[in-house]
Amino acid sequence: MTKNYGDCFYCGGTTEEQAIPREVRWKGELFIFENVPMGVCTQCGEKVLKPEVAKAIDRILQEKKKPTRTIQVPVYHYESDVA
């Protein structure tokens, strides 16, 4: 059963539930959560996270649960004269 997210706050478009990745920065670290249920606007792409989902993510981070998997992420420093 999908949840009702209402119309998009920004553009008024239709919002549909999708299970997508969510990046979270917490205590200076980057965490990626996969298959997070979020409302996504079909018009502008704005994403909406329900409070209970956000609380569940916070709880996982606070309890330091073991991740499903770990990946390495390259990090670049942007320099304006490169572009």
Are the C-beta atoms of 21 and 37 separated by less than 8 Å? no
Query: How does residue 79 score in pLDDT terms, banded at 50, 70 and 90?
Result: confident
Residues 20-42: tens digit of each pLDDT: 999 999 999 999 999 999 999 99
What is the model's pLDDT at position 83?
53
Domain spans in the chain, listed from the N-terminal domain onward: 1-72
Beta-carbon contacts of 34 under 8 Å, excluding residues fewer than 6 positions away, are: 21, 68
Query: How does residue 2 score in pLDDT terms, banded at 50, 70 and 90?
Result: low
Architecture of domain 1-72: Roll (3.10)
